[in-house]
Amino acid sequence: MKIPKSLQPVLWSVRIEELDLKEDKVYIIHQILSFGNLKELRWLFRNYSIREVREVFLKYPLKVYRPQSFNFVNEILLKIRNKNLNMKKYVPPTL
């Protein structure tokens, strides 16, 4: 499956043609969770299971989130409310 060109603004640091759904899933998932709109989030969950998205979010934290987007993803979108996640692993110190 190809990644649609419409995702290029969210996946800005790599050309869409160079991305692979499996090999680059950590980058793709975090970028869309952090910066994607509703249409992009729908694409994400059509291409990755909720289990895969949760696994990437929990096992491979990236500092690409604002505090508000981290809370939205953690508590509402992925419903990981029971986990004591360290926000410092997801939010850069300057935000």
84 pLDDT band (50/70/90 cuts)?
confident
Specify the 3-state DSSP secondary structure of 36: coil
**What pLDDT is attached to residue 95?**
52
Across 48-58, average pLDDT:
97
Across 74-93, average pLDDT:
89
Statement: residue 81 has pLDDT above 80: no
**Continuous segment of H or E residues that includes residue 34:** helix 25-35
Query: For the chain, what are the domain ranges?
Result: 5-89
Across 29-37, average pLDDT:
97
